[in-house]
Structure 1
Amino acid sequence: MRCLGIDARALRAGRQSGLFGTANVYGWGDDKGRTEEIIGSWFAQGGGRRDRTVIATKVYGNMGPDGAAWPNHDKISALNIRRAVEASLKRLGTDYIDVYQFHHVDRATPFDEVWQAIDVLIGQGKILYAGSSNFPGYKIAQANEAAARRGMVGLVSEQCLYNLYERRAEMEVVPAAQEYGLGVIPWSPLHGGLLGGVLKKETEGRRRTEGRAAQTLADPAKRAQFQAYEDLLEKHGLAPGEVGLAWLLTRPGVTGPIVGPRTPEQLAGALRALELELSDELLAELDEIFPGPGPTPEAFAW
């Protein structure tokens, strides 16, 4: 599954099975929509799965035939939203989506058009709430001000790239989300595995770093940061992946990171992060290794 988020606190309390996060385009290429189909197959097994699960999916990616740039087969025009919701509902095997997220900003579509489509879908009971993903702070503000003019709730969540290494969201996105009452759902909470103890795994032969992660570690200064991170946590007897997730849970506005475990062991580690309490001393040491941008506008004005 391309993107899996689990709210283990609600799971343990028996209120829900968890939160599944996906997108209509996940699966990519000829397999676009496949992850929604996987979730739909799981729902079809019954046992109250759907009722105990929060499902969040996204609209924006090109779902046109053969990947062609057909009008209204991508982005968030009113027609594409209407068309995409129906297709996602069918793949998911459900009659409603809990949180319908805009996967990216659409500079060509005014928010009044977007909210007109969302208002109709909420009225039809096909979606419950709308959220954003990868929105800058000013777009969160624009979206919610437009919704307020229509007497609508507006966005309820923002799913953004945010982790101990990549903290730019703290400058505008997280403050905007807090100002408008959005829950922050970080994606890539371990930055593609780099915060999960990748250097030690490399040394032990348990992992070969590729792609963007390898490019990042090719920079000596960045590699030194991750080495310092792993050395610090080894000194404290802590697992890097668990600390990376636990750190996010200390951040203002964060409701729960999206995790993508590939093994039961990785899932167990993610769940342990919920019980991990980080001391003020350790938080300060982590800030020294991965300093955030600081509050705005002071971060860039003075």
Structure 2
Amino acid sequence: MEYRPLGSTNVLVSSLCLGTGNFGRSDAAPGNWGATDEKEAFRIMDAALSYGINFFDTANVYGNFGPGTTGDSERIIGRWFAQGGNRRERVFLATKVSRVMLDNDFDGPNTRDGLSLWKIRRHVEGSLERLQTDHIELIQMHYVEHRTQWDQIWEAFEGLVRTGKVDYVGGSQFYAWELMKAQASAQKRHFMGLISTQHRYDMTSREAELEAFPCAIDQGIGILLFSPLRRGALAVDVLEPDDRPLNDETVQFIETHRPQMTEYATLCHDLGHRVGNVTLAWQLAHPAVTAPVIGPATVRDLEELVESVEISLSDEVMAEIDRIFPAPVGHFYGGPAPEMRPLSWA
């Protein structure tokens, strides 16, 4: 396994981060979130440690199937930690806060996506209980919060850091200007601010190359990639499909990009590597990227994906991937840089 510093922290984490969004209930439809039961989740986490993966990512809302199930993924991880064997000590643990928890009457009128000091404190305490730990290495904001002043948000996270319940703070889906606004506010408070942020980044979604990635490099912010394989779509070999189930969203993505996916699969065949592994190797080649957050549903998935860290793509191969999946046009040449998502005040 390869290890990289997470932003400016000088903490080395594995260049593949184990995502746990699939951990949930056994009756979920194959190919959908939550389709990995607890027994297989335990096997995946044990295998991840054996491969040298020390970076685990979860969220308080993973396993959100309805009232009474909120936080199921964190509970599974907590029960895995409770088995002992230095499992907790060997993991750099990341979770998230911001989204709606479905427990009945938990937040009352505040049952909505968003952040406040009140909500951050309550939700982090809940995560600590479910995860059966007294601290979290990295707490991440699931989304940017536009309704709350940064001073109040930093007040919440600073308190958690000062009391030892949290080590570091990260974000997710921030624009470059939002990263800078967060860092400027933290600097005024003499607080470290964001040390990481999560982004959507793959061959078909490369807008982060224009502003977010250069900003992150400049500010010493590590980049983690959520859903780097597009729910498995960018791991599908359209020339030799296997028997793993795909949900409707993934099937639609493949059909939309079938000409490119066909050329890409041909390139991967020529290289002698699995499609998903080439995708991860291409992402890891970007200097801004610390780790893609992979979400294996089975141990078999994990065993295949770890091979990606051993792949080095030549300049010629990188140029061919650029030809198949063209890079975005810079704003100096083609108008404003596209934004990743619309702002929402709902």
TM-score (norm 2): 0.78
Q: 1:271 aligns with which of 292, 306, 309?
A: 306
Q: 2:216 aligns with which of 177, 180, 183?
A: 177
- C-alpha displacement at 1:170, in angstroms? 1.4
Inter-CA distance 224–69: structure 2 relative to 1 (3 Å threshold):
farther
Which residue of 2 is the match for residue 128 of structure 1?
A: 167
Give distance in 2, aligned partners of 1:124 and 1:115: 14
CA contact (8 A) 1:26 1:35 kept: yes
User: What is the number of residues matched between the two proteins?
Assistant: 294
CA contact (8 A) 1:21 1:56 kept: yes
Which residue of 2 is the match for residue 217 of structure 1?
A: 254
* Structure having greater relative contact order (Cα 8 Å, sep ≥ 6): 2
Q: 1:39 aligns with which of 59, 77, 82?
A: 77
- C-alpha displacement at 1:124, in angstroms? 0.6
CA contact (8 A) 1:172 1:296 kept: no
Q: 1:19 aligns with which of 55, 60, 63?
A: 55
What do the CA deviations read for 1:132-187 (whole angstroms, capped 9, x no partner)? Answer: 01112211111111101100100000111111222122122212211211100001
TM-score (norm 1): 0.89
Identity of paired residues, percent? 38
Which residue of 2 is the match for residue 2 of structure 1?
A: 21
For 1:25, the aligned partner's letter is: V
Which residue of 2 is the match for residue 61 of structure 1?
A: 99
For 1:215, the aligned partner's letter is: Q
CA contact (8 A) 2:176 2:211 kept: yes
- C-alpha displacement at 1:242, in angstroms? 0.7
- C-alpha displacement at 1:9, in angstroms? 11
CA contact (8 A) 1:115 1:147 kept: yes
SS in 1 for 2:229: coil
Superposed, 1:185-204 pairs within 5 Å as: 185-202=224-241
- C-alpha displacement at 1:11, in angstroms? 6.7
Inter-CA distance 109–86: structure 2 relative to 1 (3 Å threshold):
same
- C-alpha displacement at 1:71, in angstroms? 3.8
CA contact (8 A) 1:188 1:259 kept: yes
Inter-CA distance 299–150: structure 2 relative to 1 (3 Å threshold):
farther
Give distance in 1, aligned partners of 2:238 and 2:264: 10
Which residue of 2 is the match for residue 230 of structure 1?
A: 265
Give distance in 2, aligned partners of 1:207 and 1:94: 35
CA contact (8 A) 1:165 1:191 kept: no
Unmatched runs of 5 consecutive residues or more in structure 2 = 1-19, 24-43, 338-346
Inter-CA distance 171–10: structure 2 relative to 1 (3 Å threshold):
farther
SS in 1 for 2:190: coil
- C-alpha displacement at 1:209, in angstroms? 4.0
Inter-CA distance 182–113: structure 2 relative to 1 (3 Å threshold):
same
Give distance in 2, aligned partners of 1:54 and 1:125: 15
What do the CA deviations read for 1:251-275 (whole angstroms, capped 9, x no partner)? Answer: 1210110001122222122211111
Q: 2:123 aligns with which of 68, 74, 84?
A: 84
- In terms of fraction of residues, the more helix-rich structure is 1
For 2:155, the aligned partner's letter is: Q
Give distance in 1, aligned partners of 2:50 and 2:212: 28
Q: Are residue 117 (structure 1) and residue 136 (structure 2) matched?
A: no
Give distance in 2, aligned partners of 1:118 and 1:109: 14
